[in-house]
Amino acid sequence: LFVGMERLLGWPGRGTLTIVLGHALLGMAYASVVIQSRLKEMDRSIEEAALDLGCRPFQVFFLVTLPNMSQALIAAWLLTFTLSFDDVVVSEFLAGPGVTTLPQVIFNYARRGVNPSIYAAASLLMLVVTLAVVIYGIHTARQARLSQRLPSE
């Protein structure tokens, strides 16, 4: 798509912008499924109550909707980041001359031979994602326990 647009319109040139747009386009499909499932099960009466109490729609979005969507947004971000980090093919096709992403470098080194520094960098990135998932899981479990302790009215 982007290569065809470049031939017809001259925009966007192949490089960092096309890589970002390509990964965003690919990730939106996965993120929309996660976010849409959360939107379907969200209680709309909370938003209506906020509107009845005098909030503007802008305030309702930032004070009610966005906090209720935060878990789905984090899950969608983690999913799309992991998929984007793993997708070397998109980066190979969309990268212009002189633009290299970390997955491309890791793939090229894996093809040519072992370089411990590249594997260490990949391990650190995967460690960061794993820690984020673990912290998110602990936070979610703690929130569930706290909500069960609160007396129902």
Are 129 and 84 a contacting pair, CB within 8 Å?
A: no
pTM: 0.64
Alpha carbon distance 56, 50 (integer Å) = 8
Interval 36-66: pLDDT, tens: 999 998 888 999 999 999 999 999 999 999 9
Interval 111-151: pLDDT, tens: 777 667 777 877 888 898 889 889 988 998 898 888 887 66
Distances from the Cα of 11 to the Cαs of 1, 6, 23, 36, in angstroms? 11, 5, 17, 32
pLDDT at 2 over 70: no
Alpha helices in 61-115 (DSSP H): 66-86, 88-94, 102-112
Terminal CA-to-CA distance of the chain, rounded, Å?
A: 55
The share of the chain scoring above pLDDT 90, in percent, equals 29
Domain boundaries, the chain: 2-149
The share of the chain scoring above pLDDT 70, in percent, equals 91
Of the two residues 26 and 94, the one the predictor is more confident about is 26
What amino acid is encoded at 109 in this protein? Y
The CATH label, of 3.40.630.30, 1.10.150.120, 1.10.3720.10, 3.40.50.300, for the domain at 2-149 is 1.10.3720.10
151 Cβ contact list (under 8 Å, min separation 6)? none
Q: Quote the tokens at residue 36.
A: 């849409």
Distances from the Cα of 53 to the Cαs of 48, 50, 64, 68, 113, in angstroms? 9, 5, 12, 18, 64
* Owner of token pair 């209680």: 43
- Smallest CA-to-CA distance from 104 within 112, 56, 144 is with 112
